[in-house]
Amino acid sequence: MGQYLYKLPDIGEGVVEAEITAWHVAIGDAVEEDAPIADAMTDKATIELTSPVEGVIASIACEEGELLAVGAVLVTIKTEGDGDESEAPVAAPEPIKAQKPEVKAAPAAPASETPKPAPLTAAQNRRASDGPALASPAVRKRAASLSIDLSAIAGSGPNGRITHADLDAILQSGQSAAPAAVPTPTAPAAKNEPTPEQDGETRIKVIGLRRVIAQRMQEAKRHIPHFTYVEEIDVTALEAFRARANQKSGEGAPKLTVLPLLIKALSQTLLDWPQFNARYYDSEGYVSRFDTLNLGLATQTDLGLIVPVIKDAGRLSVWEMAIEIARLAEASRTNTLSKSDLEGATTTLTSLGPLGGIVTTPVINRPEVAIFGPNKIRPIFVPDENGQPVLRKKMNFSISCDHRVIDGYDAAKMMSELRERLEDPAAMFLD
C-alpha cells in the first residue's frame, strides 16, 4: 500500500492561494480517478479539483472556508502498490496553516564582547518611511502565526507586496524576519471566544463567493470616495421602438429586452467620455482609459453576485448583445463561466430589471472608476404642452463615480448625453 500526496495545483496565472469552498470527499472515502475531490475558489473563478489517482482518502488539508497555498498538500490518498510521497506532482511550500518553525539560536558572543544591535535592513528603513507593509489578509495571518515581522521584509510582489513565497524564503533561511524580543511574563490573554448560539439564531459561515464579495465591497468603500448622480429618462419612445423591433424580428431571434438598447446607447456615449470607461490604479498613481468597452454585467445567482464581461460591447448589434447577455446569464447560473468570461471589465452595469427600485447607489467595482445602475421603468402622468396629463414611461438611471478622478459636472454632462440617446432611440442607429 502506497500513498499519493495530491497538492493544490497552479490554477491560474498569478494565483498563489485558493479557498476550499466545498469538500466532495471525507477521510475513509474511496475515490476513482477523475472523481471530484473539492471546489477551490480564487479571485477569478471556482474550479472543481478531481482525483489524479484511484484510492482511499487518508487525510484532508483543511476545513471548508479556509485558504490553502498553491503547492500545499490538499489530500493524501492511499493507493495500491508501492507508491510514496515521490508521486506528488510538485514540491510543496508550507501551507497557510503552517506551524511556528523551530528557529535555531545564534552562537553566543564571547563574554568580553557586547553584542551590537543588528543594523536596520533596507526593507526596515523603507517601511519606516513608507508606512505599513503591503500584504494580503492571508499573508498577514500566516505571518502572525509564524511570528514574522512583515515590516522587515522586502516584498517580491508588485509594488513591494509581500507574498507567501517571501514567507517561505524566511522559513527556509532558518531566520526570523526581525530580532525576537525577550518575552515578558504576563498573564494569559483571554481568548475572544464567540458567544454561544442563542435560541432562534442561525449562524452561517461567510465563505466562498460571499466572502470575496464582502472583502471587495469593503475595499471599494474604504478606498473610493463615491458619489452618485441620478438622471430621469423618458423611455416611452425606447419602449415603443423595442416593441416594433420584436414584432419585425425574424423567427428564432431572441426577445429584445431594454438592456441591449441601454448598452448600445452607453457604448456610444462613452466614446466621447473615456474617463468613465477607465480604471484607477491608485497605488501606482495612474488612470488607464480604454477605447473598447468591455462591460461587466452584474448578475445575481444562487451563489451570490457574479460579474461576467461583455467583450467589445460597442461592436455588437443589439441582437448579438441580447444573445451574449443570455449566454452569460445562463453560464453564471450554472457556474460554467470560463476564465475569459470574467476578465477584462473596464466599467460595470448593474440592473435588477423590474425589481430595480426608484433609485440605486451602486458600489464601484475597484479599480474601475464608475458603475451604471438603471432602475425600473414606471408609468407617470406628466403635463403636455396644453397642461393635460399624459401617461409616459420614466426610468431613473444612476451612476456612482470615483470622485478622485471624476467630477460631478462631467457626470452630469455625460448622463445628459446618454439621456438624449435613449429618448431618441432611432438616432442611435444613425451614428
d(CA 210, CA 208) in angstroms, rounded, equals 5
Cα 64 from Cα 7, distance rounded (Å): 16
Closest among 172, 154, 404, 392 to 286, alpha carbons compared: 404
Angle, in degrees to the nearest 10, between helices 137-145 and 164-173: 20
Q: What's the pLDDT at 228?
A: 97
Peptide bond into 95 cis (omega under 30): no
Which residue shows C-alpha cell 509581500?
Answer: 162
Tell me the pTM: 0.61
Q: Decide: residue 165, CB within 10 A, 0-12 exposed, 13-18 middle, 19+ buried.
A: middle
> pLDDT, tens digit, for every residue of 270-302?
999 999 999 999 989 999 999 999 999 998 877
Which residues are within 8 A (CB) of 29 and not within 5 positions of it... i.e. 6 or more apart? Answer: 56, 57
Cα–Cα distance list, 159 to 169, 192, 218 (Å): 19, 35, 22
Side by side, the strands of the sheet bearing 30-31 are 2-7, 73-79, 55-60, 30-31
Nearest to 72 by CA among 88, 102, 94, 100: 94
Q: Which residues are catalytic?
A: 403, 407
Burial of 308 (0-12, 13-18, 19+ CB in 10 A): buried
The DSSP result for 112-163, as a single string, is: TSPPPPPPPPHHHHHHHHH-SPPB-HHHHHHHHHTT--GGG----SGGG-B-
Pair 216, 368: CB distance under 8 Å: no
The Cα–Cα gap between 61 and 97 comes to 9
pLDDT of 109 reads 44
The pLDDT, as a whole number, for residue 430 is: 80
Rounded-to-integer distance, Cα 350 and Cα 332, Å:
14
At 186-207, the pLDDT tens digits run: 555 555 667 888 888 888 888 7
pLDDT value of position 88: 42
pLDDT at residue number 348: 96
User: What does the alpha-carbon distance between residue 415 and residue 211 come to, in Å, rounded to a whole number?
Assistant: 33
Burial of 58 per CB tally in 10 Å (0-12, 13-18, 19+): middle
The residue with cell 431594454 is 258
What is the pLDDT at residue 192? 60
Report yes or no: 160 and 123 within 8 Å, Cβ to Cβ.
no
Reading the block at residue 312, the C-alpha cell is 467589445
Which ranges of the chain have pLDDT less than 50? 86-130, 176-183
**pLDDT of res. 1:** 73
